[in-house]
C-alpha cells in the first residue's frame, strides 16, 4: 500500500511549476533537474498530467512545460489520481465492484473510513499552498 | 496505493477465527471456505500470520488453525502490517530513508499526515470488535 514513484514525481512537478513566476516555462531537462527525476521517466509522468489538463507543453525555442490548471483549485489528491487513477484502498471500495461479502463484512466500513481519512488529507492540501510552503523553506 | 489481496485475506481469517467459540479450530479447507479464499493462497497468508504469533496451527485429527493472540489487543493495522510490513505511504516515510528533498519538501508533511490518518483508523479497529460486528450482521 504505497504511492507509486510516478505519482510522487507528478506531485513534485506540479508543485514546482506552481511555484514559478506566471508565464514561465521549463524545458524537460531543466524540469528533470529541478525535481530530481530521470528525463525518460519524467516524460511519461508529464504525458499523464497533460492528458488530465494539469500542464501544457509548447514546442520551439521558447517552449517548455507550464502549469495549465489553477493551483489554488488543484489538490494533491487530484494530482495523485491523475497519475494512479482513483484511490481505492481495497478492491471492495470501487464502484460497481460486487464483493459477495460486502453487505455484512465488518472490515468493509473500516476500509471505507480509512480511505476517506487518507483522501481527505490529500484533498485539503492545495498545490498552491504547497508551492508557497516550498518557497518559504527552500 | 492499494491493499494487497494477501492483507485483505489475512484480515478475513483473523476476524473469522476471533468470532469462533474459545478452543475452536478450523481445518485449512473449512477456513478457506469460510473466508472465500483459494486454499493455496490462504496457506501462504496463514504462514505469515503464524510467523507473527497471531494464529497457531495444530496437526492431527483434532488439529487446525486457531487465533493465538488476544483479539481485543489486536488491531486491523497489526494484521495488515503482519502481511505487508509497516505501512509507508511514500518511500520517504520509511525509517533511515534519506530522500535528499526531505528537509524542505512541502509534500513530505502531507504524506506523513495522510499516513497517520490512514493508520489511525486501522489502529482503532480492534479485531474483537470486528468479529462482534460480523456476528451481529452476518
Residue B104 pLDDT grade (very low, low, confident, very high; cuts 50, 70, 90):
confident
What cell does A51 get? Answer: 492528458
Percent of chain B predicted with pLDDT > 70: 97
Measure B60 CA to nearest chain A CA, in Å.
Answer: 31
Which residues in chain B are closer than 8 Å to A3, comparing Cβ atoms? 1, 89-91, 111
Please, what sign has the CA dihedral across residues B101, B103, B106, B109?
positive
CA angle A24, A20, A81 (to 5 degrees): 105
Which residues in chain A are closer than 8 Å to B3, comparing Cβ atoms? 1, 89-91, 111
The number of residues making up chain B comes to: 138
Task: Please give the span between the terminal C-alpha atoms of chain B, in angstroms, as a whole number.
Answer: 29
Are the beta carbons of A91 and B8 separated by less than 8 Å? yes
**Alpha carbon distance A95, A84 (integer Å):** 16
The secondary structure of B36-50 as a DSSP string is T--HHHHHHHHHHHH
Domain coordinates in residue numbering, chain B: 5-86+126-137
Check: CB of residue A137 under 8 Å from CB of residue B104. yes
Chain B contacts to A (CB-CB under 8 A):
1-5, 7-8, 11-12, 15, 36, 76, 80, 84, 87-91, 100-101, 103-107, 110-111, 113-114, 117-118, 120-122, 125, 129-131, 133-134, 137-138
In tens digits, chain A (138 residues) has pLDDT values of 889 999 999 999 999 999 999 889 999 999 999 999 999 999 999 999 999 999 999 887 778 999 999 999 999 999 999 999 999 999 889 877 677 787 788 999 999 999 999 999 999 999 999 999 988 775
Which residues in chain A are closer than 8 Å to B138, comparing Cβ atoms? 104
Measure A64 CA to nearest chain B CA, in Å.
Answer: 24
Q: Distance of CA A49 to CAs A46, A83, A114, A135, B62, Å?
A: 5, 7, 27, 22, 58
Are the beta carbons of B114 and A121 separated by less than 8 Å? yes
HSE-up of residue B57 (Cα within 13 Å, Cβ side): 15
Topology adopted by domain A5-87+126-137: Arc Repressor Mutant, subunit A (1.10.10)
pLDDT value for B13: 97
Smallest CA–CA distance from B136 into chain A, residue: A104
pLDDT value for A138: 57
Q: What is the pLDDT of residues B8-41, one digit of tens each?
A: 999 999 999 999 998 899 999 999 999 999 999 9
ipTM of the complex: 0.92
What cell does A65 get? Answer: 512545460
Measure A104 CA to nearest chain B CA, in Å.
Answer: 6
**Alpha carbon distance B117, B39 (integer Å):** 34
DSSP E strands: which ranges in A20-138?
Answer: 55-58, 64-67
Number of helices (H) and strands (E), helices first, in chain A? 6, 2
**Alpha carbon distance A98, B39 (integer Å):** 22
Contact residues for A54 (Cβ-Cβ < 8 A; gap 6+): A14, A67, A68, A69, A74, A78, A79, A82
- The 3-class secondary structure across A56-87, one letter per residue, is EEECCCCCEEEECCCCCCCEHHHHHHHHHCCC
Residue owning grid cell 504525458:
A47
Q: What is the pLDDT of residues B111-136, one digit of tens each?
A: 999 999 999 999 999 999 999 998 87
Chain A contacts to B (CB-CB under 8 A):
1-5, 7-8, 11-12, 15, 36, 76, 80, 84, 87-91, 100-101, 103-107, 110-111, 113-114, 117-118, 120-122, 125, 129-131, 133-134, 137-138
From the candidates A80, A113, A118, which should be mutated to test the interface with B, based on the most B CB atoms within 10 A? A118
Contact residues for B5 (Cβ-Cβ < 8 A; gap 6+): A91, B41
- Domain B5-86+126-137 sits in CATH at 1.10.10.10
Amino acid at each position: 500500500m504505497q504511492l507509486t514513484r510516478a505519482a510522487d514525481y507528478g506531485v513534485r512537478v506540479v508543485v514546482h511549476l506552481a511555484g514559478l513566476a506566471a508565464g514561465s516555462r521549463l524545458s524537460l531537462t531543466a524540469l528533470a533537474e529541478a525535481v530530481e527525476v530521470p528525463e525518460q521517466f519524467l516524460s511519461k509522468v508529464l504525458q499523464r498530467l497533460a492528458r488530465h489538463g494539469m500542464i501544457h507543453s509548447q514546442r520551439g525555442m521558447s517552449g517548455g512545460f507550464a502549469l495549465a490548471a489553477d493551483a489554488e483549485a488543484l489538490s494533491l489528491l487530484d494530482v495523485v489520481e491523475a497519475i494512479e487513477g482513483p484511490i481505492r484502498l481495497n478492491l471492495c471500495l470501487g464502484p460497481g465492484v460486487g464483493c459477495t461479502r460486502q453487505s455484512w463484512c465488518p472490515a468493509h466500513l473500516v476500509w471505507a473510513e480509512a480511505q476517506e481519512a487518507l483522501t481527505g488529507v490529500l484533498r485539503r492540501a492545495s498545490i498552491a499552498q504547497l508551492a508557497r510552503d516550498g518557497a518559504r523553506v527552500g
